[in-house]
């Protein structure tokens, strides 16, 4: 069992993070054309609503919850120090996770019962669906059976994750957790590892700069204030929209 | 004054014969690929008709373009707030059935079917699924008013036309239609650019061509909603949006775009317009009735000393300024005031202008009382119920514009945001040119009458001759005045050579692999 634990809790995280980093950087620099959400709404635009919307809002909330417990564990613990607030946090998290599960199931059914989606589905989509499904169900299972996750995540998992990032993995506490939690950890890292090979890259290019860029974009191939001057042989300014 | 140059276009609708050569030229070069089969960057619609995609002009359905609220313009169906909130599911996205499901036929079955009692047939198969389909719609399903009455009668421009007027339009022997060829308008205030969350769409400063960077497009599919002309298309296979590129590789090489080069009716003109970019937003934000005027007002006179100086300060090459002075578009749009933008009320300031068609006006319809006549007839004949006189006699040919068989309102709803006077003004000029030329060539119109018509239209004989010459006799180089692209200044417009050393070929080199 120890070998497996070591693999899941030490080797797999490093492997996944390395693959993720190298893979996404390579794909972003060399295969930029393949960065896309691969929307299939054009081919099936009705049932997608019942899948994509609950799924994405669900995962966004749940993901941010995990991120908070990772980034500011003390704040989460302080918030949880009052039972009412703990309950509020846990119940909202659970609801969003259910929404994510429902959405995911709808997405899976939609994709495999719509003839038009077959030509735009690949093996990687299936892998992503299975992993996400596994991850969501495991997460819900943990939230229901091993309460209260938001608190013990902050005390057990956050130090463990920190130790991973500090390159001094310390598994003494996590190793005692039930196997479902370990499964949840393992799947999380596998999902991180497959990001560069799947459509999941789309979440890395969330277009937030849209919020502050001007609506209209005009691009010149040369510096127009200088191009007519004989001092400028040609422009070395490169167009910015790449 | 912030002078920029724009490659703009004029389509002379009286000359379009509806042959679709333009569409085919474009398809063969650019969209004959998987995922793009359904796209017609250039398409030719019969008007009245519902168009492609079906009823694209109805922004209550598609939510395209800009809308003015509290004095400010905002994207109707996309934009910073709506676009990001709806990013997981775009409620206003047209889907494949709004265009049509692309198909082909199993031609091989005609040859390879085993011998039998029946004739072999080539069954239609979907180009998306590969499975046999029942074709429900195709490109130009309603060409020449074909198909069921559903098409023409559901034209969104019919909204303001009374049932009686519609009745006249669709009486068989009075029916009139014209063709409306459409490509991307390469707008000055493009909604597609404004709607793209990842900033993949941009307007080229040098010539104003609007392009989608395929490397940056992430399939957030907002531009498809935002373009009111539905000229940004989603490629369902590559997961990228695509649009008309105005054949920029051809333009950079001094050639006319393929659709224009191949145009059989020679209806297409292309040339440079200089405009004042600092006034774009202001021009797009005025009241609906002033939109056409404000759009034409930001187009600058290329002979004006101040304009030329400001253009040079902005790095516009002499050759481009020269091209602007000889631009056929400038003549049609500004000098003669003959061409109008399509649906100016969408507020994108389109740079493709149309000379409104005079053809449907060439005969008149009068309401007459046929009761006495029809009472005498056999009851079955009465079904004809003909209370309209269709008149093409010479005297009436130039007759009153108010009696035309094609409601002015309809044309006004297309080209002037409902301003009928504006259309009348163009028609008067077009008619005056014809009457004047008839006096010159046939001679059966009196000098008096011709002079009177010219005066009424506000043009002189010289201008009428010039309009006639550029309409009927133009040579290739008069229709397309394309400035040098000055690639030498940009090293290479497509790519930065430093990045692409060793690469050969043109376009996107990476492939997508999809499908199981
Ligand atoms: C960061 C913000 C995110 C944005 C803006 C976003 C946006 C999108 C969009 C536009 C689509 C295409 C939907 C369509 O077919 O039209 C999509 C699909 C998808 N996204 Fe996201 N996404 C985000 C985060 C995530 C995350 C965190 C995950 C999971 C780890 C995820 C998993 C998926 C999956 C599995 C699909 C495919 C849905 C299907 O077609 O069955 N997304 N996303
Ligand atoms: S016509 Fe549509 S796609 Fe073309 S520039 Fe205008 S808004 Fe963009
Ligand atoms: S090729 Fe010219 S004449 Fe023929 S349909 Fe196209 S625009 Fe009209």
| 3-state SS track over B397-425 | HCCCHHHECCCHHHHHHHHCCCCHHHHHH
The residues, ordered by sequence, that sit 6+ positions from B63 with a Cβ below 8 Å of its Cβ are B76, B77, B78, B92, B225
Ligand 3 residue neighbourhood (C-beta within 6 Å): B 16-22, 44, 179, 181, 263-265, 267
B516 — contact with chain A (CB < 8 Å)?
Answer: yes
- pLDDT at B267 exceeding the cut of 90: yes
Distance of CA B418 to the CA centre of its chain: 17
Q: What are phi and psi of A64, to 5 degrees?
A: -65, -35
Q: Between B387 and B450, whose confidence is greater?
A: B450
Q: Which residue has the tokens 């300024």?
A: B321
Q: Whose alpha carbon is nearest atom 40 of ligand 1?
A: A40
CA distances from A147 to A29, A78, A142, A144, B360 (A): 43, 17, 8, 6, 77
Provide the pLDDT for residue B396.
Answer: 47
How many angstroms away from the CA of B508 is the closest CA of chain A?
A: 8
User: What residue has token string 């939109």?
Assistant: B291
Residue of B nearest to A60 (CA): B88
User: Is B251 in contact with B6 (CB distance < 8 Å)?
Assistant: no
Higher pLDDT among residues B5 and A3, named by residue: B5
Terminal Cα-to-Cα distance of chain B (whole angstroms): 56
**Complex ipTM:** 0.91
Contacts of B38 in chain A (CB under 8 A): none
Predicted local distance difference test score (pLDDT) of residue A239: 58
Closest B-chain CA to A123 = B516
Q: What is the mean pLDDT of residues B409-416?
A: 93
Question: How are strands ordered across the β-sheet holding B210-212?
Answer: A218-219, B201-204, B210-212
The two three-digit tokens of residue A141, written as one number: 């299972």
CA of B21 to the centre of ligand 3 (A): 6
> From the CA of B184, how far away is ligand 2's center (Å)?
5
Distance from CA of A28 to the nearest CA of B (A): 10
**Which residues form the pocket of ligand 1, taking CB atoms under 6 Å from any ligand atom?**
A 37, 39-41, 48, 52, 56, 59, 63, 107, 111, 128, 200, 202-203, 206; B 87-88, 220
Lowest mean per-residue pLDDT among A189-193, A230-234, B323-327, B387-391: B387-391
pLDDT in tens, B300-310: 999 999 999 99
Work out the average pLDDT over B140-149: 82
Which residue from A24, A41, A48, A52 has its CB within 8 A of the most atoms of ligand 1, so it is best to mutate?
A52
B:193-222 residues touching chain A, CB 8 A cutoff: 193-194, 196-206, 213-221
Q: What is the pLDDT of residue B149?
A: 74
Contact A205 B496 (CB under 8 A): no
Quick one: tokens of B65? Answer: 């373009």
| pLDDT-derived band at B176, boundaries 50, 70, 90 | confident
How much is the pLDDT for B502?
47
Mean pLDDT along residues B209-215: 91
Smallest CA–CA separation between B106 and chain A, in Å? 19
Tokens 């198969």, located at residue: B125
Q: Which tokens go with B350?
A: 């389109």
Pocket (CB within 6 angstroms of ligand 2): B 184-187, 190-192, 210, 227, 229, 231-232, 243, 348
Instruction: Quote the tokens at residue B41.
Output: 């960057």
Q: Do B236 and A43 touch (CB under 8 A)?
A: yes
**How remote is the CA of residue A52 from the centroid of ligand 1, in Å?**
7
Structure tokens at A190: 């596998």
Tell me whether strands B103-105 and B124-126 are parallel, antiparallel or unpaired. antiparallel
The residue-averaged pLDDT of B401-418 equals 82
Helix axes A83-113, A123-145, angle to 10 degrees: 150
Which ligand approaches the C-alpha of residue B183 most closely?
2
pTM: 0.90
Pairing of strands B201-204, B124-126: unpaired
The more confident residue out of A183 and B498 is: A183
Q: Which of B9, B20, B22, B26 to mutate to test the pocket of ligand 3 (most atoms within 8 A of CB)?
A: B22
At residue B219, the 3 state secondary structure works out as coil
């Amino acid at each position: 069992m120890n070998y497996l634990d070591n693999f899941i809790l030490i080797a797999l995280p490093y492997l996944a993070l390395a693959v993720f980093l190298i893979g996404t950087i390579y794909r972003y620099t060399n295969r930029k054309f393949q960065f896309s959400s691969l929307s299939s709404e054009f081919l099936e635009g009705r049932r997608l609503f019942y899948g994509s919307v609950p799924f994405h809002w669900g995962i966004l909330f749940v993901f941010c919850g995990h991120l908070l417990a990772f980034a500011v564990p003390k704040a989460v613990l302080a918030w949880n120090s009052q039972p009412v607030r703990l309950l509020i946090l846990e119940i909202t998290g659970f609801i969003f996770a259910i929404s994510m599960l429902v959405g995911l199931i709808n997405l899976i059914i939609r994709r495999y019962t719509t003839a038009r989606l077959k030509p735009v589905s690949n093996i990687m989509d299936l892998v992503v669906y299975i992993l996400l499904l596994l991850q969501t169900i495991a997460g819900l299972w943990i939230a229901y059976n091993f309460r209260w996750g938001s608190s013990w995540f902050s005390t057990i998992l956050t130090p463990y994750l920190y130790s991973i990032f500090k390159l001094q993995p310390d598994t003494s506490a996590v190793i005692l957790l039930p196997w479902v939690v370990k499964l949840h950890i393992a799947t999380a890292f596998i999902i991180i590892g497959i990001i560069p090979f799947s459509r999941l890259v789309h979440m890395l290019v969330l277009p937030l700069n849209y919020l502050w860029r001007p609506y209209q974009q005009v691009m010149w191939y040369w510096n127009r204030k200088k191009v007519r001057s004989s001092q400028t042989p040609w422009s070395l300014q490169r167009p910015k929209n790449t | 004054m912030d002078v920029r140059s724009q490659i703009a276009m004029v389509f002379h609708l009286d000359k379009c014969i509806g042959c679709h050569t333009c569409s085919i030229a474009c398809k063969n070069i650019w969209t004959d690929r998987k995922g793009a089969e359904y796209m017609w960057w250039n398409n030719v619609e019969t008007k009245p008709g519902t168009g492609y995609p079906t009823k694209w002009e109805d922004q209550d359905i598609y939510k395209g373009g800009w809308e003015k609220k509290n004095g400010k313009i905002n994207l109707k169906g996309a934009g910073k707030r709506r676009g990001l909130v709806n990013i997981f599911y775009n409620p206003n996205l047209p889907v494949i059935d709004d265009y049509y499901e692309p198909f082909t036929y199993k031609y091989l079955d005609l040859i390879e079917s085993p011998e039998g009692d029946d004739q072999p047939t080539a069954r239609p198969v979907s180009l998306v699924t590969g499975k046999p389909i029942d074709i429900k719609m195709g490109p130009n399903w309603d060409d020449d008013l074909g198909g069921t009455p559903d098409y023409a009668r559901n034209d969104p421009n019919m909204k303001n036309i009374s049932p009686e007027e519609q009745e006249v339009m669709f009486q068989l022997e009075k029916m009139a239609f014209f063709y409306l060829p459409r490509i991307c308008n390469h707008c000055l205030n493009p909604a597609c650019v404004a709607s793209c969350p990842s900033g993949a769409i941009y307007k080229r400063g040098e010539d104003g061509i609007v392009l989608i960077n395929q490397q940056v497009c992430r399939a957030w599919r907002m531009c498809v909603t935002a373009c009111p002309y539905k000229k940004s298309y989603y490629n369902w296979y590559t997961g990228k949006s695509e649009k008309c590129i105005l054949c920029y590789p051809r333009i950079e090489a001094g050639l006319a775009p393929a659709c224009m080069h191949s145009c059989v009716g020679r209806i297409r003109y292309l040339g440079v317009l200089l405009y004042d970019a600092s006034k774009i937003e202001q021009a797009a934000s005025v009241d609906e009735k002033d939109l056409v005027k404000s759009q034409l007002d930001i187009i600058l006179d290329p002979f004006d000393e101040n304009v030329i100086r400001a253009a040079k300060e902005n790095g516009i090459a002499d050759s481009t300024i020269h091209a602007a002075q000889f631009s056929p578009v400038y003549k049609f749009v500004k000098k003669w005031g003959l061409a109008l933008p399509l649906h100016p009320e969408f507020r994108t300031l389109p740079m493709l202008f149309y000379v409104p068609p005079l053809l449907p006006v060439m005969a008149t319809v009068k309401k007459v009382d046929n009761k006495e006549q029809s009472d005498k007839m056999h009851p079955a004949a009465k079904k004809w119920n003909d209370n309209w006189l269709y008149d093409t006699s010479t005297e009436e040919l130039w007759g009153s514009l108010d009696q035309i068989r094609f409601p002015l309102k309809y044309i006004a709803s297309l080209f002037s945001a409902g301003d009928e006077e504006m259309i009348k003004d163009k028609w008067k000029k077009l008619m005056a040119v014809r009457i004047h030329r008839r006096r010159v060539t046939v001679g059966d119109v009196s000098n008096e009458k011709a002079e009177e018509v010219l005066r009424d239209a506000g043009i002189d004989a010289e201008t009428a001759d010039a309009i006639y010459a550029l309409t009927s006799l133009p040579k290739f180089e008069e229709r397309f005045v394309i400035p040098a692209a000055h690639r030498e200044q940009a090293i290479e417009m497509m790519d930065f050579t430093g990045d692409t050393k060793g690469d050969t070929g043109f376009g996107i080199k990476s492939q997508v692999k999809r499908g199981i």
